[in-house]
Amino acid sequence: MTSTPNVATLKENPILCYYTNRTGKVQVVRVSNIPNWYFERVVFPGQRLIFEAYEQGQLEVYSGAMASAVLADSISCNRLQINPLE
Return the SS3 of 72: strand
Q: Which amino acid is at 53?
A: A
3-state secondary structure of 7: helix
What's the pTM? Answer: 0.77
- Residue-wise pLDDT for 17-67, tens only, equals 999 999 999 999 999 899 888 899 999 999 999 999 999 999 999 997 666
Contact 59, 50 (CB under 8 A): no
